[in-house]
Amino acid sequence: MKILLLKIFLLLFPLFSLFGSAQQKEITGKIINSANGEALPYAKVYVTYADGSKRSASTDFDGFYSIPYDTVPDSLAVSLDGFEGKSFFIREDFQPEHHVTLQRKVAQNKNTKKAERTRERHIDEVVITKKKKKYKNPAFEIMEKVIERKPSNNPEKFDSYSYENYNRMEISISNFGKKMEKRKVVRDIKTIMETAKEVAGEDGKPVLPVFISENLSDYYYQKSPHQSTEIIKKTKIEGIGIEDGSMFTQLTSSTFVKYNFYNNNIRILGKDFVSPINDTYKLLYDYELVSKNHEIDGERYYLLNFKPKRESDLAFMGSMLINHGTYSLFRIDAEIMPTANINFIHSLKIQQEMMRLPEEDNWLPGKTRVFLETARPGKESVAVFLKYYSSIKDPVINQPINKEVFEKEIVVLENATTEDEAYWEQNRHSTMTAAEKKMYGMIKEVKNLPSLRTYLDVIEVLLNGYYKVGNISIGPYLYTLGYNDVEGLRLRAGFKTNQHFSKKWIFGGYLSYGFKDEKLKYGVHADYIISREPWIQAGVNYAHDLGQVAFQYEDFSVRMNNIFNAFTKNGKMSVRRPFWEDQYQAYFKMDVLNSLTQKITFKHATFDPLFDFAYHDPEQGIMNDYKTSELIAETVWRPGRRILQRANNTQLNLKDNIYNPLVTFRYHRGIKGVLDSDFDYNKFTLNVQQTVPMGILGRGEYSLTGGYIPGQLPYPLLENHLGNDFMFYNKYAFNMMRFFEFTSNRYASFQYIQNLEGLITNSLPLIRKLHWRNHVTFNYLIGSLDPKMMAGNSIGHNYFQGLQGKPYMEVGYGVSNIFRFLRVDFIHRLTHLNPLPDGRVPPKFGVTLSAHIKL
């Protein structure tokens, strides 16, 4: 009988256990910032029962908590440093999911702080003791060991690693001004916001989500040779005004949001922030040891607070946990100082938690959260919130990776965009609340508002310069209206086809008319994308328009500056020596490697000057115009280049590899007799440019150029060094040199800018609050002009000269970020100060004012 009862008990025990566990319930939820919906990790959550007993838990990295209970507790309370605590009673009919919002504590006013400092200085008694040894901050002892063990703890020590990565990005807006709220589009939007308050949480400010994305990918890294790739397996994107989903999928991948605090500097938003684990930490940061034995899951850590010595520096304040024994970083909560010298950003916070790998004492960044809030430049502007979250899973360390994996840095699989909510529910690394999931639906609802379309169209024109009408984009609008002394009032209309017309062909053209010269100018082009993997493109174009000798050749600007190009069509064009030109071109361009681009161009052009010009050719005599036909080979090497494929039939070169050199080599081969060309010639030019990070000294930017043109040619085909008669500063020009002051057929130049950020201005109390930044510049040019060139080009000119072996030099200094968008440069010319051949005296000093917008 006993044996039978035992068998029955063993059979039914799992059922009893299952029934018992079913009675065990949980109170769950998420703790968030009421102002912006930011998840709040490490908050304390308590439930209290009628008999006074308590149960507690801490929110995890994602702001979630879970507390088991048998009977319904009486109350729930939440607390977190820096926030107002909150507690409330729990009713019998309560829901087991409780999302709670917390408000930040209001900062004390100056009088309160002054009173506290007075109380702190009150002395009750005086004790005389022996002189002690000089105080040593105990945090420094810990930091010394952290720095000492950086090489062994830095994740970059691994030969290779891979893992599955999940990331989510959300962008929302809130806080509309009173005047804006009267506009129909804002009223329509706020109606949707009010019906979805749960997105912000109870008593939180309603927010309007405008963009949300999720990516699930496999990430691969290899140390030598250094390369990485991310294969995006699944992506989900919804955004207002977002048409090119493929580009945003790549932009929001984890490849572009990776922070390693073991590096001395961390690049964020194009700026270098000093890490609190910098090798020179004592010079840059103050530290406080808060706890020697902070325990999490049975592991002990040192808890340190840190803040920069100078509040205006690009540095962080916050706290970090350092592991006992290994002195490795486990968790960091870092945010920029409110007084940091950075524009348009109100707050920026990075939270990161490291994952301990199965191999002992090895760590990788396991979870990362970034929160950014933009500044509001005016009462009628809106606040924009960006939240980014990423986590890793199943890391594999130091295992061989097939080299074919690294053929492309970012790969989006063909079925990645297929909608499959069941897939996301199963594979998300972190839970999304019902309110967060509702953001997708809110964005779709807002996108259908007719009143919003006009605003989206305006934004598109401002960003791209074109207005899209079906298959055609009209523009660019910067060129629509202009005025110069040759054409008078100039009107221009242009267009190009977009991706809706064809994924392969791009057609475009323009018409322009000057009311003073009463001449029509025009141009057409046709381009064909042969391949996207790798990128191969070819095309032809023709233009009948005015050219300018001053801007005819070596321009090595990294990116096309449409504002500068549009400005060159205005003002005193006559001083830049205009000429009529019929130009025919055919080109072929391809990415030989990801970092290597080759372009071959055939160009035929006529030169019919609108200024006094004559050239004595040994064979043809005096020439007042000419024709050229040339083959141009251009090789561009960008190590570390990152490119994105865009739906609008272009590539996007991301400006995140500026610390690597950019090398450009060009060779021009002029061929006499082809299409009645008048000259045989060769031209060789090489340019190297780079940005060099220098920590607290800011950044250095240099451009080194060399060129050689053998033979005898008219001076418009030589190198006419770029002067600057404009009122604004141009970093590619010699700003105290006039146009055509010097010409060379062999030359070398060095141009340098040291952006000191706020190194000096942050130390000046009266200027520090203005957020001005300081910089210094230096330009150097050495060159020569063959006497044969001077003899042939001396006809019809008041003067024509080379540098004659004496270098041209100028130095400058200035202040930028004035009112967030102005820059003033004070420039001194150091050499070639004697009167010019035409009697003019070169200026020794000048001041330029220019627009300069940077974060």
CATH number at residue 43: 2.60.40.10
Q: Is the pLDDT of residue 588 over 90?
A: yes
Can you say whether the dihedral through the CA atoms of 309, 310, 311, 317 is positive or negative?
Answer: negative
pLDDT for the residue 201:
42
CA contacts within 13 A on the Cβ side of 516: 9
- Structural domain includes residue 244: no
The mean-pLDDT minimum among 119-128, 518-527, 543-552, 742-751 falls in 119-128
Can you say whether the dihedral through the CA atoms of 458, 460, 466, 471 is positive or negative?
Answer: negative
Question: pLDDT tens for residues 552-566?
Answer: 876 776 555 566 677
User: Which has the closest alpha carbon to 250: 167, 184, 187?
Assistant: 167
Distance between CA atoms of residues 480 and 469, nearest Å: 17
Q: Is the pLDDT of residue 8 over 60?
A: no
- Structural domain includes residue 833: yes
Chosen domain end from 83, 102, 121: 102
- Structural domain includes residue 65: yes
In sequence order, the β-bridge partners of residue 304 are: 289, 320
Percent of residues in the chain assigned helix, strand, coil, to nearest 5: 20, 45, 40
- Structural domain includes residue 633: no
- Structural domain includes residue 510: no
CB 546 within 8 A of CB 526: no
User: Which has the closest alpha carbon to 689: 659, 709, 668?
Assistant: 659
CB 609 within 8 A of CB 579: yes
| Local structure of 303: helix, strand or coil | strand
- Structural domain includes residue 297: no
End-to-end CA gap in the chain: 83
- Structural domain includes residue 556: no
Q: For the chain, how many structural domains are there in total?
A: 2
CB 290 within 8 A of CB 321: no
Q: Which domain holds residue 50?
A: 23-102
| Backbone angle region of 316, left / alpha / beta, with phi > 0 → left and psi within -120 to 50 → alpha | beta
pLDDT for the residue 242:
63
Q: Is the pLDDT of residue 454 over 80?
A: no
What Å distances lie between residue 115 and 107, 112, 118, CA to CA? Answer: 15, 5, 5
Q: Please provide residue 322's backbone torsions phi and psi, each rounded to the nearest 5 degrees.
A: -110, 130
CB 272 within 8 A of CB 314: yes
Q: What is the mean pLDDT of residues 60-87?
A: 85
Question: pLDDT tens for residues 724-774?
Answer: 877 778 888 899 998 888 999 999 999 999 988 766 766 677 677 777 888
User: Which has the closest alpha carbon to 584: 495, 480, 676, 504?
Assistant: 676
- Structural domain includes residue 774: yes
Helical segments of 485-588, H only: 562-567
Distance between CA atoms of residues 450 and 467, nearest Å: 18
| Backbone angle region of 45, left / alpha / beta, with phi > 0 → left and psi within -120 to 50 → alpha | beta
Chosen domain end from 102, 122, 142: 102
Question: pLDDT tens for residues 107-118?
Answer: 555 444 444 444
CB 208 within 8 A of CB 196: no
User: In the chain, what percentage of residues exceed pLDDT 70?
Assistant: 80
| pTM, entire model | 0.75
Chosen domain end from 81, 102, 123: 102
DSSP 8-state secondary structure symbol assigned to residue 374: E
- The length of the chain in residues reads 855
CB 219 within 8 A of CB 401: no
Other Cβ atoms within 10 Å of 151 Cβ, number: 10
CB 427 within 8 A of CB 168: no
Q: Is the pLDDT of residue 119 over 60?
A: no
